[in-house]
Amino acid sequence: RVIQSSTYRSDFITGSLEYWIDRQAPDSSQYAGFFSMSPAMGQSAKYVDTYASFGLLDYQIFLLHVFAGHYRNSGDKVFVAKHWAKIKKGVEAILPLIDDQSGLAVATNLGRFFSGSDNGTAVSGLLAHTLDQMADVASAMNETDVATTWTRSATSVKAAIRQQLWNHRLGYYATDLSDPTEQSITGSAWAILAGVANATQAESSLAALSSLRLGIGYKTSSSVANASSTNLAPFLTGFLLEAIMQESRNSPSSSKARTTAIGVLLDQLWAAMVTQNEYYTGTTWEYLYPDGRPGLDFYTSHAHPWAAAPTYVFSEYVLGVQATSAGFSEWEFRPAMLDVNVSWARGRVPTPQGPIQASWRLNGTSVQLSVCGPSGTEGVVRVPFAIESYSVNGEQQTNDKDGLEVQVSGGSC
């Protein structure tokens, strides 16, 4: 998504995906269906045994998540069809992570999770969300039965999260079953992104973030020490940023909890990587200390692409343009305006049919939105808050809904 929103070099995306897909463990391996996490560069999968790096099971889910996201943005059925057999096998390989007893994600003896814990909200939400996305890809490949099975599994996991992990007294989804009082940023994020949390639960979860505040950001969980040496994790925090923005663009009113959290993350956590001459690298970092210095206690990267979430969050949520059907054949312009500390946004989003040009500007109690969609697409402009009156291309319109929804035909502004 960083590439999609910045250079739009689809060959970088497909080339990377193919590199990993070519390195799928064979059926004879105990890791059958898994993709090698970090294969050595410059080595042909045909001649080199690269099936030894599978330890972090989240990577298997994230790779499928990226594959589905690329299809949603590109609509490239030829690419999907070329790799479908292996991708389908990859999805079947992660389904056994769903525990028969709890219905939640549990790491097998083949590895462990790093973005959350066994029987936890984070990885279970990530798994369910990815299965939903992959079901859409299966439908595109005309495998309706497969899509139905994966959707059913996703729905079951989400139900298990709701039934077992919501702490109504503390107002957030617990990190895992072992301690219902523990809170984590990834748990809150994936409960929202996977559609597990309802609007009330999401707002409550974001308000509870204040207990995780540490220096310029939020520590990963309540079990982590409030220490000057504690590492803050921009990569994992990126999911939280997107979750907050998703709630913001869907809400009819502003929220102090969302406004505060967005300010902390964008004005402090990510700002620390670009405003300090002493530590500036021109890139985003894997870890930071609470005072804004680069985190060096762990093995850490100071050019970590997974920490660059604002790149696509700005495009998809602040500007507010997203694909709603494969290849942007259908799209929406739905910016998060109420909780961000900006009064305008303007940008161009590349699509296979041509760019979508969009902008919005707040002026007191009025807002002006402008969008031009490419030919061969259908778009919709949406705002969730109450509208007294509005006009389209200078013509006054009536509005009998709580929010606003205006269709944009292809090739028009």
pLDDT in tens, 33-49: 999 887 777 777 777 66
Using alpha carbons only, how large is the chain's radius of gyration in Å?
22
Give the containing element (helix H, strand E) for 122: helix 121-140
User: Two tokens at 126?
Assistant: 């990530």
Burial zone of 233 (CB within 10 Å; 0-12 exposed, 13-18 middle, 19+ buried): buried
Tally of CB atoms within 10 A around 236:
22
Distance CA 106, CA 120 (A): 8
User: Do the Cβ atoms of 347 and 315 come closer than 8 Å?
Assistant: yes
The number of C-alpha atoms within 13 Å of 186 and in the hemisphere containing its C-beta is 23
In the block, residue with structure tokens 């079953």 = 177
Global pTM value: 0.96
Q: 333 near 342, Cβ under 8 Å?
A: no
The torsion angle over the Cα atoms of residues 123, 126, 129 and 132, rounded to 10 degrees, is -70
pLDDT attached to residue 48:
67
**pLDDT value at residue 53:** 79
Q: What pLDDT, on the 0 to 100 scale, is given for residue 50?
A: 54
Burial class of residue 217 in the structure, from the number of CB atoms within 10 Å of its CB (0-12 exposed, 13-18 middle, 19+ buried): buried
C-alpha to C-alpha distance for 210 and 227, rounded to whole angstroms:
16
The parts of the chain modelled with pLDDT lower than 70 are 48-52, 298
Q: Three-state SS for 23? A: coil
Please list the residues that pair with 407 across neighbouring strands: 380
Tokens standing for 53?
A: 């790096």
Distance CA 71, CA 76 (A): 6
Structure tokens that stand for 177 in this block = 């079953």
pLDDT of residue 221: 97
Question: Quick one: DSSP state of residue 112?
Answer: B
d(CA 40, CA 42): 7
183 exposure class (CB count in 10 Å sphere: 0-12, 13-18, 19+): buried
pLDDT at 42: 77
Residue 122 has what pLDDT? 98
What's the CA gap between 229 and 242, in Å, rounded?
26
How many whole angstroms separate alpha carbon 143 and alpha carbon 406? 34
**Partners of residue 337 on adjacent β-strands:** none
Quote the pLDDT of residue 203: 97
Alpha-carbon span 115 to 125, nearest angstrom: 11
pLDDT over 70, % of the chain: 99
Per-residue confidence (pLDDT) for residue 51, from 0 to 100: 53
Burial class (CB in 10 A: 0-12, 13-18, 19+), 269: buried
